[in-house]
Amino acid sequence: MQMFSCELTCQSQLIDFPVEHVRWLDLREDWVLIATHYQRLGMAIVPADFPEDQWRLCAWVEGGEIRSMAGVIFMTTKNWEIGAVSTHPLYFSRGYAKAVCAFAACYILTNGKRATCNTAADNLAMQRVMRAIGMVSQ
C-alpha cells in the first residue's frame, strides 16, 4: 500500500483552528462516548485498542457526542504520531478534523516532539487536513 507521510517540527508552522470544543478523553470516564462514536462509524473497539502508555485521545465533543476524534501515538522518544482520526459523516467538511488534529499537534510540539502522520496515498481528505494545519510532506 502506498503511503503519504508528513511532519511538523516547529510550533510556528502550526496553523491554529478553533478548539473550544476539543478536549482530552479519559478512557474510563469517556468510554461510552468513545465506543458510541466508533459504533456510529460501523466499527467495534475495546479499551485495549488504545493502551494509555502508548496513546492519548482527544475529541471535539458537542451535544453529548463526539463529532471528530484524533489520537496521539507515542511512537519514539523523538516522534509522536497523529492517528486514528475519525469524523462522523454528518460532520464532514466543517473543520472538526482540522481542529482535533491541530490540538493534537500542538500537544506534541509543546512536549518537544516532532509531529508525524501517515495515511494511505489515496486518502486525500486526510492529506488535506494535515496540510491545512501546516504539516509538510516527508
DSSP string, 28-88: TTTHHHHHHHHHHTT----GGGS-TTTEEEEEEEETTEEEEEEEEEE-SSSEEEEEEEEE-
CATH code for residues 3-137: 3.40.630.30
Which set of grid coordinates corresponds to residue 115? 509531529
Tell the residue number behind the cell numbers 468513545, with chain if given: 34
CA distance 27 to 39: 16
CA angle (36, 37, 39) in 5-degree steps: 60
Q: pLDDT-derived band of residue 75, with 50, 70 and 90 as boundaries?
A: very high
pLDDT at residue 105, rounded to an integer: 97
Indicate if the pLDDT at residue 131 is higher than 90.
yes
pLDDT band with cut points at 50, 70 and 90 for residue 104: very high
Q: What is the pLDDT at residue 80?
A: 98
Cell of 85: 482520526
| Residue 25 in this model has a pLDDT that exceeds 90 | yes
Residue 97 has pLDDT above 90, yes or no: yes
Tell me what the mean pLDDT of segment 51-64 comes to. Answer: 96
Q: Say if residue 82's pLDDT is above 90.
A: yes
